[in-house]
A and B are shown apart, each in its own frame.
Chain A
Amino acid sequence: METFDVVILGAGIVGAACAHECASAGMRVGVVEPGVPAGAASAAGMGHLVVMDDSPAQLALSHYSRELWRDLRNALPSGVEYEECGTLWIAADAEEMAEVFSKQQRYLRSGIVCEAFDELALREAEPNLRPGLPGALRVPNDGVIYPPAAGAHFLSSAERLGARLFRGKAAVSAAHGEVVLEDGTRLIAGRIVIATGVDTRLCRWLNLRPRKGHLVITDRYPGIIRHQLVELGYLKSAHNLDGDSVAFNLQPRKTGQLLVGSSRQFGALGTKAEPEVLRRMLDRANEYVPALRSLLAVRVWTGFRAATPDKLPLIGPTTDPSVLVAMGFEGLGITNAPAAARLVLHHLTGAHLPIDPTPFLPNRTRALEAQYA
């Protein structure tokens, strides 16, 4: 039986970031990971570091977290492939162009550097976008990383600070200061942090739904696009609480490969790629970058995002005084991992936090908790 100040369930990027944060704060940390560290949602997603403003709380969280990534950049190993390529939010019509300007105002009010591009400036910035797009909002400090390497970096840094990784065994119970693994190993934990992605076996009261996404990666074609390109309609797609949707999202990697997304589906779906969804997603992408069609697709895969009803993550204490959660990041797990770790540390130790943690408290779903208690 081993004793820890905190045991973190899940070594995805959020769990790993929490492990690093807690170990750096001098805590004795245990991490439980049944599978491959950073091998689930962390490996399946795009690795986009992006400020997202679908709500004031999300804007605050993603802005804070993105700046934490920027502060980290020099400490990140080269395998993380940190690249500050920026994001271009693309308008396809006059209505979306109006949204570009109002988005710009919101960003500037929050101190986020951005500039509006008109049609000509957009063509100059990204010649491979189809002509006729009225403009875009450029957010230069957004970036791209390779998440599995970032997760591995956080985890190994935590281990160097004394954290212990329990690999290959899942936790079967985590309550009242004790974590029991499937082989009977018992870990005494001052506090427990559940950061298990779409796996809600130990926190069923959280109303999380897995949201399937498809991605395609191409062979190396350096220089086709420079920024991460996202259509403004992406927010509508992410907002959509039910049903299937696709939205254009194209990412240049440091390798010169292009990562093509995005799709969102609810429902009990397997991991197989669905040709119809893929077709819709790629048709949409081709509308923005017609040259995409002739590029070689090397791999196609799917992944599952953990979605909450109000699109904000669940970070903080539960009714069990020893258990916290850091769950439900939907498409912003990578972006928000460092901030989530700071929020967790704040809840554990009272450490200073520059943003308001209230919007992310799990007890905002208290009605559902009572149902499952």
Chain B
Amino acid sequence: MPERSGSSAKAVTVYVNGEPVLVTQGSMLAAALLNAGAACRVSESGEARTALCGMGICFECRAIVDGVSHQRTCQIVCCEGMRVQTQR
């Protein structure tokens, strides 16, 4: 039987390129970037890239998290106030 989680799931706010984005508690940072339509990084030849494999293998979801670059956002759980920026 499917169970509904209900609308009582808590939300947290993270900042994607400076803009506040509301996500369900427990979401991964890559999901926040995707929901906001933001790229995670810009590739060597200038292409916008976002998560591809969803499991921490491809490194396409790397972004700057709280000032630190090269963080795999699909492996990071969103925390209240976390700041993520597209990495160039």
Contacts and interface: CB of A to CB of B under 8 A. Distances in A.
A294 B70 CA distance: 11
Interface in B47-77: 68-70
A296 interface: yes
Contacts of B69: 221
Interface in A191-222: 219, 221
Nearest to A222: B88
Nearest to B68: A294
B71 to A, nearest CB: 10
Interface in A170-184: none
A1 B68 CA distance: 62
Q: Label chain A's interface by main secondary structure.
A: mixed
A219 B64 CA distance: 13
Contacts of B44: 255
Interface in A251-308: 255, 294, 296
Q: Label chain B's interface by main secondary structure.
A: strand
Nearest to B62: A219
A219 B69 CA distance: 10
A221 B44 CA distance: 12
Nearest to A219: B70
A83 B69 CA distance: 25
A244 to B, nearest CB: 32
A128 to B, nearest CB: 15
A255 B44 CA distance: 9
Interface string A219-232: 10100000000000
Contacts of B70: 219, 296
Contacts of A221: 69
Contacts of A219: 70
A78 to B, nearest CB: 13
Interface in A122-148: none
Nearest to A296: B70
A244 B49 CA distance: 44
Q: Which of B44, B68, B70 is the most central at the interface, judged by chain A CB atoms within 10 Å of its CB?
A: B70
A294 B44 CA distance: 22
A255 B69 CA distance: 16
B44 to A, nearest CB: 8
Contacts of A294: 68
Interface string B28-60: 000000000000000010000000000000000
A294 B69 CA distance: 10
A296 B62 CA distance: 12
Interface in A291-327: 294, 296
B61 to A, nearest CB: 14
B33 to A, nearest CB: 19
A167 to B, nearest CB: 30
B66 to A, nearest CB: 13
Contacts of B68: 294
B3 to A, nearest CB: 40
Nearest to A295: B70
Interface string A138-168: 0000000000000000000000000000000
A255 B43 CA distance: 12
Nearest to A221: B69
A219 B70 CA distance: 8
B9 to A, nearest CB: 34
A296 B68 CA distance: 11
A73 to B, nearest CB: 22
A296 B69 CA distance: 9
Nearest to B69: A221
A182 B74 CA distance: 52
Interface of B: 44, 68-70
The 3 A-B residue pairs with the shortest CB-CB distance in the complex, in nearest-first order? A219-B70, A296-B70, A221-B69
5 contacts: A219-B70, A221-B69, A255-B44, A294-B68, A296-B70
